Amino acid sequence: MSIKFVPESASFHLTAKDTSYVISIVDDEKFVAHTYFGKKIPDENVNYLLRLGNYSLPSKNNRERVNFYSTFPQEFSTSGLGDFREPCLMVRDKNGNSCCSLNYRAHKIYAGKPKLEGLPCTFGSESECTTLELECEDSVLGLEITLLYTVFENLDVIARSVKVKNCSGDPIDLLRVLSACVDFDGAGYEMVTQHGAWARERHVQRRPVLYGKATVDSSLGKSGHEQNPFMALMAPGAGDENGEVFGFNFVYSGNFFMQAELSPIDLTRVVMGINPYDFSWRLEPGESFTAPEVVIVYSDKGLDKMTSTFHDLYRNHLIRGEYKDKKRPILINNWEATYFNFNTEKLIDIAKEASKSGIEMLVMDDGWFGKRNDDNSSLGDWFVNEEKLKGGLKYLVDEVNKLGMKFGIWVEPEMISPDSELYRKHPDWCLKTPGREPSLARNQLVLDYSRQDVRDYIYETMCSLLSSANIEYVKWDMNRPLTNMGSACLPKERQGELYHRHVLGLYEILEKLTEKFPHVLLEHCSGGGARFDPGMLYYSPQIWCSDDTDAIERLEIQKGTALVYPVSTMGAHVSDVPNHIVGRSASFDTRGIVALSGTFGYELDVTRIPKEDREKIPGQVEMYHKYNNLVRTGDYYRLTPLFKKLPYECWGFVAKDKSEALVTYVCIMGVPNIHSRRIRLKGLDENAFYRNEETGEVFSGAVLMNAGININVNHDFEAKLFHFAKV
Ligand code: DGJ
């Protein structure tokens, strides 16, 4: 068992691969202390780390109780008693008060990992995981607070979540229930986050954690373009390949809150969970609330090791379904090819031409339903627009299938257009507050997923759509944030539950649909990559990374995304030039090479691109089939520093058995009159020898990693792959 309770020190020792995490129960009141988190240690009593002399403890010195709370490293911080740092738990009780405390009562340790009801979470077998349930209470409130921890035996990962149960006889309103708090000793940490905007998602940012609080969050009702529910804390001196890094990722797709705080006495606290912004949850007597999971990764070798741990965790213990370990069909999507202007004939033309080059699936994007010819109407009317698709959906799908291609479809099921049959029939089915005109975005409103009738309707509608033809892929889009938070069905004391209920409703539908249609490949999307989070990855193995398909912009986006999320999850396509967003023209080869480090597909009118580009597609298809296993299943390495802007970008993939490696190099801006670039590879077997596939030259793994290869690719936007196979 890798979780152990040591009665002598009253402490729990959680051991994940090379990581230790220690929790201690202290004083007569059984406060729960966070004692240690870092590299594996053998000691069974490390309580000295808490610096709790007799003087500090309330049982010995009650006159300084506030002083105790304000410096004590609470394992799960509570509010109102003297800990002035960020609380994880805050309530409104029957008297209208908000104080709460957390005291140990009992515990359970067992093999395996429990599911979180209605929520996505990582999974692992009994031989892979051990779980601790730390049962705590606030006896004044009658609240039972269970802190859940699962350690992974073979990964430096600890997953946490929290369950709160009302054991009193009165309702209690939860004002915040975050999912995790970790107190670090000392100052000088740096915080790494992913920020962005539409078409510029997940750029990476690093900043010092200074006195005060630094927050990243979302109140958009989705994880968002702006910030991702990820944060890494880098210990002083840590870098790409060295030092301690603590990575946190919230397995949730709605409003989130992550904060790093440096207190005046140099304690660094990290908290995260559902954003308390406009959140409340009414717990009637006997009811429980479960907070979503946070996964915490420990690395003693910098950001590189953190990345590879997240990738392995998500590929093996989060993503589910048939495509989990499978190569995805190469698709061609008509969005950038036609936007709303298409019909059956046009789509079949694209499919015909695409099938000749080995493209395997046609995806019909937005504009096929209701009377949708632009983005002003019809969301909610999920029946085919017969004027555009003469012969109907089944006819089109059958024709595409006859060409030997699969067929996929775009939907946006969380939305409703005011100009739709659905809205005219059910004007109360969208989010809105009485007396106020709801704010439109892209001329659309959001369906109220807190309502069972709405969820049932959407589920049934999606089932009929997916059963109406041989649909083998779905792109599930979500193009606006949630606003006007009001539900016609919830009582006033429960309106604060709406943001979370939307996400729970979405998860419910996705769970049912993926169970009923296990063969359908699901790709999530949200105006590009505004909902790229581990919550969504539980339901779909891939997410559209960004509406920005320019190969050069994609370098930053894909590198930033891959800091946490596996390359196999990143939707990436070759699109037309000049690029629709930035007007840049990278070569067809470069566009292919960059999309290869993702799911790989096309997003262009293959009947209209230049002949010389079209003729390159079969070669790119071959490249995908040759390298996708390595890209999808291998270890990904950044071969340029994460935080340094260079005129080139380089990353690599190494097979798990170290038998081969692929290096992707892209020159962003050519620099005249320089030597070739020297790039050092990572992750090879230093004692093995590798042949450069192109030149036939043989090098030791040691020289490739310690000295590197010379790369002479120096024209703007030029890219090249280098493949090495063990001899
Ligand atoms: C936003 C997506 O990111 C695009 O790929 C496309 O599907 C449009 N929505 C369609 O409205």
How many Å lie between the centroid of ligand 1 and the Cα of residue 527?
6
How many Å lie between the centroid of ligand 1 and the Cα of residue 131?
41
How many Å lie between the centroid of ligand 1 and the Cα of residue 412?
9
User: What's phi and psi for 348, nearest 5 deg?
Assistant: -70, -35
Q: Known catalytic residue: 477? A: yes
**Helices 617-633 and 588-596, packing angle to 10 deg:** 20
Specify the DSSP element, H or E, that contains 25: strand 19-26
How many Å lie between the centroid of ligand 1 and the Cα of residue 185?
45
How many Å lie between the centroid of ligand 1 and the Cα of residue 377?
15
544 Cβ below 6 A of ligand 1: yes
| Topology at the third CATH level for domain 331-633 | TIM Barrel (3.20.20)
525 Cβ below 6 A of ligand 1: yes
Q: Taking the model in full, what pTM does it have? A: 0.98
Give dist(CA 603, CA 600) in Å, integer. Answer: 10
Specify the DSSP element, H or E, that contains 251: none
Catalytic residue among 173, 419, 533, 547: 547
Give dist(CA 644, CA 663) in Å, integer. Answer: 19
Catalytic residue among 93, 477, 533, 589: 477
How many Å lie between the centroid of ligand 1 and the Cα of residue 626?
29
Helical ranges in 562-677 per DSSP H:
588-596, 611-614, 617-633
What integer pLDDT is reported at residue 1 of this predicted model?
73
399 Cβ below 6 A of ligand 1: no
Residue 547 CA: which ligand 1 atom is closest? 3
Could you give the angle at the alpha carbon of 206 between the alpha carbons of 205 and 208, nearest 5°? 145
How many Å lie between the centroid of ligand 1 and the Cα of residue 479?
8
How many Å lie between the centroid of ligand 1 and the Cα of residue 491?
35
Give dist(CA 289, CA 162) in Å, integer. Answer: 8
Three-state DSSP class for 3? strand
Give the other-Cβ count within 10 Å of 371's Cβ: 14
Could you give the angle at the alpha carbon of 311 between the alpha carbons of 305 and 316, nearest 5°? 130
Are 560 and 202 in contact, with CB atoms under 8 Å apart? yes
Looking at residue 227, what DSSP letter applies? B
Pairing between β-strand 709-711 and β-strand 677-679 as defined by DSSP bridges: antiparallel
Could you read off the pLDDT of 123-163 as tens digits, one per residue? 999 999 999 999 999 999 999 999 999 999 999 999 999 99
Give dist(CA 368, CA 702) in Å, integer. Answer: 55
Q: Known catalytic residue: 547? A: yes
How many Å lie between the centroid of ligand 1 and the Cα of residue 476?
9
528 Cβ below 6 A of ligand 1: yes
Please determine, looking at this structure, whether the domain spanning 648-726 carries the CATH number 2.60.40.1180. yes
529 Cβ below 6 A of ligand 1: no
Residue with CA nearest ligand 1 atom 11: 366
Residue with CA nearest ligand 1 atom 2: 527
Of 311, 379, 185, 250, the C-alpha closest to 597 is 311
410 Cβ below 6 A of ligand 1: yes
477 Cβ below 6 A of ligand 1: yes
Counting ligand 1 atoms within 8 A of each CB, the residue from 201, 225, 335, 339 with the most, and so the one to mutate, is 335
365 Cβ below 6 A of ligand 1: yes
589 Cβ below 6 A of ligand 1: no
Instruction: Please give the C-alpha separations between residue 685 and each of 33, 406, 657, in angstroms, as whole numbers.
Output: 42, 40, 9
Could you give the angle at the alpha carbon of 569 between the alpha carbons of 563 and 571, nearest 5°? 105
The per-residue DSSP string of 351-417 comes to HHHHHHTT--EEEE-S--BTT-SSTTS-TT--SB-TTTSTTHHHHHHHHHHHTT-EEEEEE-TTEE-
Residue 475 CA: which ligand 1 atom is closest? 7
The per-residue DSSP string of 275-317 comes to --TT--EEE-TT-EEEEEEEEEEEESBHHHHHHHHHHHHHHHH
What integer pLDDT is reported at residue 55 of this predicted model?
66
What are the residue ranges in the chain where pLDDT is below 70? 54-55
Please determine, looking at this structure, whether the domain spanning 3-317 carries the CATH number 2.70.98.60. yes
| 221 backbone φψ class: left, alpha, beta (φ>0; ψ -120 to 50) | left
Query: Per-domain residue ranges for the chain?
Result: 3-317, 331-633, 648-726
What integer pLDDT is reported at residue 54 of this predicted model?
63
366 Cβ below 6 A of ligand 1: yes
Counting ligand 1 atoms within 8 A of each CB, the residue from 376, 378, 477 with the most, and so the one to mutate, is 477
How many Å lie between the centroid of ligand 1 and the Cα of residue 379?
13
Counting ligand 1 atoms within 8 A of each CB, the residue from 333, 341, 415, 525 with the most, and so the one to mutate, is 525
Residue 365 CA: which ligand 1 atom is closest? 7
Residue 375 CA: which ligand 1 atom is closest? 11
479 Cβ below 6 A of ligand 1: yes
Counting ligand 1 atoms within 8 A of each CB, the residue from 225, 544, 599 with the most, and so the one to mutate, is 544
What contacts 158, CB < 8 A, 6 or more positions away? 14, 16, 19, 21, 149, 150, 151, 152, 295, 296, 298
Burial state string for 273-310 with b = 16 or more CB within 10 A and e = fewer than 16: bbbbeebbbbbeeeeebbbbbbbbbbbbbbbbbbbbbb
Are 169 and 146 in contact, with CB atoms under 8 Å apart? no
